């Protein structure tokens, strides 16, 4: 499969990185020569310097033989025009664009027939959805969900305050009644599929799966306390912050937004009168005391400054705020944030990449979640009658290395399967898979 991507920024880079790991033929087009050079030094793909709206550049990128075209520059207009050109000049089956301004979707021009976009992804909207979902689950850990299942999926970070270090998986399992599974462990950049004797170490990330009751028990036994979140402080009133504030307010939460831009505050206050809006500089520590901000149950930092998001979230927790969610894009910052005690991190680029992958892998695939900072995925798919896993017990499946079936939905009933569980045609199955194994998984299992 050949994929041409225009834009080597955070979103484009991440999507390219994911697809390269899956052995896809990726060509990147980037107009900034320095960024193009840097990208070429880090990614194993062809990187061209040029404009995505230039037909000659697109031809050099091999657009005439491409299966998918993705335009994710910082300009909505360039992304839409690029798709329009590709739709009218070349025969590319699938065209995706990054479109941040939702107002475009309200116009008649924004349709496949008019502008040639098969799917529009909005990084800010995807990130906002992820934040709201995390809040709804208590903001104790990163949360992944699938529409057809009530089973919960959590990324749990093991630190000094977490009572898991030194315990084996089988010992942890004994403390939880109901269906529960530790599907994978990220340890020192290595993904481990654990068995019962695997011991948990400080600094591990555990990808856990279970019923709501089992996950709640696990969190309690692990020393991760859940708390009803009522009062929420959001730092940053931009696209993401405003979307999150509005969504949480509609869900009955009390929301306060702080921003240092007066015009942003004025616009928010007029648009959402039910939200408390404060004009101030969050880096001024006196604002917490003066405005009583430390009395909130949760802080969500959504500014454009990742360092400020991390520092503000950490500082708020030292003042007594129980939970913290930070908007972070850089991969190295994601790990640092968790090590500093931030309860959940949301990355617009990872949320966007997941949305793009969900669209690309249509057919039997119903949903995709990128986890462990892009090193693995949780994939939901429907088992076809001619699938290699249909009518076989889990223990007899010849799955690619470091792949594990973690949940099954059959006739609206959820299962955490053991080795004797038999997969049937029509089942909705979720597989945890290391990134390098996905191509083989798609070829041999997901058909």
Classify residue 22 as left (phi > 0), alpha (psi -120 to 50) or beta: alpha
Average pLDDT, integer, range 387-402: 89
Q: According to the model, what pLDDT value does residue 147 have?
A: 64
Residue 126 inside a domain? The answer is: no
Which has more pLDDT, 127 or 148?
A: 127
Q: According to the model, what pLDDT value does residue 137 have?
A: 65
Which has more pLDDT, 202 or 107?
A: 202
pTM of this prediction?
0.66
Q: According to the model, what pLDDT value does residue 373 have?
A: 67
Same domain for 369 and 331: no
Same domain for 99 and 8: yes
- What is the tens place of the pLDDT at every residue in 77-88? 999 999 999 999
Residue 133 inside a domain? The answer is: no
Average pLDDT, integer, range 31-38: 95
Same domain for 42 and 101: yes
Domain CATH code at residue 147: 3.30.70.1450
Two tokens, residue 346? 């949301």
Q: What is the DSSP secondary structure assignment for residue 372, as one 8-state letter?
A: G
Residue 376 has pLDDT above 90, yes or no: no
Same domain for 366 and 439: yes
Same domain for 189 and 285: no
Residue 179 inside a domain? The answer is: yes
- Number of structural domains, the chain? 4
Instruction: Enumerate the β-bridge partners of residue 15.
Output: none
Q: According to the model, what pLDDT value does residue 362 have?
A: 58
Same domain for 106 and 180: no
Two tokens, residue 281? 């500089």
What percent of the chain lies above the pLDDT cut of 70?
Answer: 91
Lowest mean pLDDT, pick from 190-204, 355-369, 398-412, 425-439: 355-369
Q: According to the model, what pLDDT value does residue 441 have?
A: 82
Two tokens, residue 439? 């191509």
Residue 327 inside a domain? The answer is: yes
Domain CATH code at residue 69: 3.40.50.720
Q: For residue 30, what is the enclosing H or E element?
A: strand 25-30
Work out the angle at residue 422's Cα, subtended by the Cα atoms of residues 416 and 424, and round it to the nearest 5 degrees. Answer: 100
Same domain for 302 and 264: yes
Buried b (16+ CB within 10 A) or exposed e, 170-181: eebeeebeebbb
Same domain for 368 and 270: no
Q: According to the model, what pLDDT value does residue 388 have?
A: 86
- Highest mean pLDDT (candidates 11-15, 56-60, 336-340, 373-377): 56-60
Q: According to the model, what pLDDT value does residue 89 have?
A: 93
Contact between 158 and 172 (Cβ < 8 Å): no
- Based on its alpha-carbon atoms, the radius of gyration of the chain, rounded to whole angstroms, reads 22
Two tokens, residue 445? 């299992």
Residue 25 inside a domain? The answer is: yes
Mention every residue, 6+ apart, whose C-beta is less than 8 A from residue 63.
Answer: 4, 69, 86, 90, 92
Contact between 378 and 149 (Cβ < 8 Å): no
Same domain for 361 and 340: no
**Final residue before a domain boundary, out of 189, 221, 253:** 221
**Final residue before a domain boundary, out of 344, 374, 392:** 344
Instruction: Enumerate the β-bridge partners of residue 367.
Output: 380
Q: For residue 121, what is the enclosing H or E element?
A: strand 119-121
Same domain for 311 and 372: no
Q: According to the model, what pLDDT value does residue 225 have?
A: 63
Residue 164 inside a domain? The answer is: yes
Residue 61 inside a domain? The answer is: yes
The total of other beta-carbon atoms located within 10 Å of residue 411's CB is 7
Mention every residue, 6+ apart, whose C-beta is less than 8 A from residue 206.
Answer: 154, 155, 156, 157, 158, 164, 182, 184, 185, 200
Classify residue 139 as left (phi > 0), alpha (psi -120 to 50) or beta: left
**Final residue before a domain boundary, out of 186, 221, 256:** 221
Two tokens, residue 351? 């949320």
Residue 311 inside a domain? The answer is: yes
Judged by DSSP in three states, 154 sits in strand
Lowest mean pLDDT, pick from 90-99, 140-149, 196-205: 140-149
Residue 35 structural domain = 2-121
- What is the tens place of the pLDDT at every residue in 292-335? 898 999 999 999 999 999 999 999 999 989 889 999 977 777 77
Q: According to the model, what pLDDT value does residue 114 have?
A: 57
Residue 433 has pLDDT above 80, yes or no: yes
Same domain for 329 and 379: no
Which has more pLDDT, 262 or 348?
A: 262
| Of 148, 161, 80, 153, nearest in space to 116 by CA | 80
Q: What is the distance between the alpha carbons of residues 360 and 379, in angstroms, rounded to a whole number? A: 13
The total of other beta-carbon atoms located within 10 Å of residue 394's CB is 18
Confidence grade of residue 138 (pLDDT, cut at 50, 70, 90) = low
Contact between 76 and 11 (Cβ < 8 Å): no
Which has more pLDDT, 63 or 368?
A: 63
Mention every residue, 6+ apart, whose C-beta is less than 8 A from residue 320.
Answer: 294, 295
Same domain for 312 and 258: yes
Average pLDDT, integer, range 51-72: 95
Task: Please state the length of the chain.
Answer: 447
Residue 197 has pLDDT above 80, yes or no: yes
Confidence grade of residue 107 (pLDDT, cut at 50, 70, 90) = low
Contact between 281 and 259 (Cβ < 8 Å): no
Q: According to the model, what pLDDT value does residue 148 have?
A: 66
Q: What is the distance between the alpha carbons of residues 214 and 231, in angstroms, rounded to a whole number? A: 27
């Amino acid at each position: 499969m050949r994929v041409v991507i225009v834009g080597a920024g955070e979103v484009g880079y991440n999507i390219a990185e994911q697809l390269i790991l899956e052995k896809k033929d990726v060509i990147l087009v980037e107009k900034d020569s320095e960024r193009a050079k840097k990208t070429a030094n880090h990614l194993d793909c062809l990187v061209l310097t040029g404009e995505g709206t230039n037909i000659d550049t697109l031809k050099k990128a091999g657009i005439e033989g491409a299966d998918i075209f993705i335009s994710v520059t910082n300009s909505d207009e360039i992304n839409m025009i690029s798709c329009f050109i590709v739709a009218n000049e070349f025969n590319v089956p699938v065209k995706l664009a990054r479109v941040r301004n939702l107002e475009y979707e309200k116009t008649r021009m924004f349709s496949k027939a008019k502008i040639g976009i098969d799917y529009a992804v909005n990084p800010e909207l995807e990130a906002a959805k992820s934040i709201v979902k995390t809040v709804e689950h208590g903001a104790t850990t990163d949360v992944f969900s699938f529409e057809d299942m009530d089973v919960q999926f959590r990324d749990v970070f093991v630190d000094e305050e977490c009572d898991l270090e030194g315990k084996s998986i089988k010992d942890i399992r004994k403390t939880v009644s109901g269906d529960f599974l530790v599907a994978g462990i990220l340890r020192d950049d290595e993904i481990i599929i654990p068995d019962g004797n695997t011991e948990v170490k400080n600094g591990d990330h555990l990808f856990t799966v279970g019923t709501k009751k089992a996950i709640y028990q696990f969190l309690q036994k692990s020393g991760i306390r859940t708390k009803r979140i009522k009062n929420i402080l959001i730092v940053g009133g931009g696209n993401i912050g405003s979307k999150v504030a509005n969504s949480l307010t509609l869900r009955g939460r009390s929301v306060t937004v702080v921003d240092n831009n007066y015009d942003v505050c004025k616009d928010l206050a007029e648009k959402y009168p039910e939200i408390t809006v404060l004009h101030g500089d969050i880096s001024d520590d006196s604002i917490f005391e003066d405005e009583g901000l430390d009395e909130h149950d949760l802080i969500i930092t959504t500014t454009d400054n990742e360092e400020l998001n991390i520092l503000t979230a950490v500082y708020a927790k030292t003042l007594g705020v129980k939970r913290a969610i930070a908007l972070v894009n850089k991969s190295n910052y994601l790990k640092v944030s968790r090590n500093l005690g931030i309860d959940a991190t949301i990355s617009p680029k990872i949320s966007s990449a997941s949305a793009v992958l969900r669209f690309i892998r249509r057919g039997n695939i119903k949903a995709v979640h990128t986890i462990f900072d892009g090193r693995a995925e949780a994939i939901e798919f429907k088992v076809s009658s001619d699938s290699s896993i249909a009518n076989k017990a889990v223990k007899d499946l010849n799955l690619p290395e470091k792949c594990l079936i973690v949940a099954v939905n059959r006739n609206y009933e959820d299962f955490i399967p053991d080795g004797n569980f038999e997969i049937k045609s029509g089942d909705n199955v979720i597989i945890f898979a290391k990134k390098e194994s996905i191509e083989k998984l798609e070829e041999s299992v997901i058909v």
